[in-house]
Amino acid sequence: MIIIVNGRRVGSKETGCALCGATWGEYYEEADGERLFFCCDLCAKGFRSIVNEAKRRNWDHVDEAVINGNFNMGRNCTVKRGGEEYRFYVKFNDDAEISIFRELS
C-alpha cells in the first residue's frame, strides 16, 4: 500500500508514521497484509478507521491512501483501489475514535 501524508510517502520507521508522519516511537501494526510503522497505538487505530471506511464500500483492500491534515484540523483522505477513489474528511477524538466524518466530492 502506498501511503502519502502531507505530501510525503510514509509507513516505515525511516519515512514516518502512516497516519501523522512522526518518526518517534516503535509501534508496528499490520494493515491490509503490510507491516506498517506508527508512532503510537492511537495513530494505528486512526489509520485502521480510515482503511475501514474504504472497506465499507465493499472494497477488499486499499492500494493507496493520501492523507492531508493533522489531529487539530482533521484530515482530508483519498483512498484508492484500482481505478476507484473515495474521498472523505475525518477528525478523531483523544481516543482515536471518529468524532466527525463527511464524504467529499
pLDDT of residue 32: 85
- DSSP code at position 96: S
**pLDDT beyond 90 at 105:** no
Give residue 30's pLDDT band: very low, low, confident or very high (50, 70, 90): very high
Contact 50, 69 (CB under 8 A): no
- The string of pLDDT tens digits covering residues 38-66 is 999 999 999 999 999 999 999 999 999 99
**pLDDT beyond 90 at 27:** yes
pTM: 0.94
Comparing CA positions, the residue from 83, 9, 95, 97 lying closest to residue 53 is: 97
pLDDT of residue 97: 97
Give residue 15's pLDDT band: very low, low, confident or very high (50, 70, 90): very high
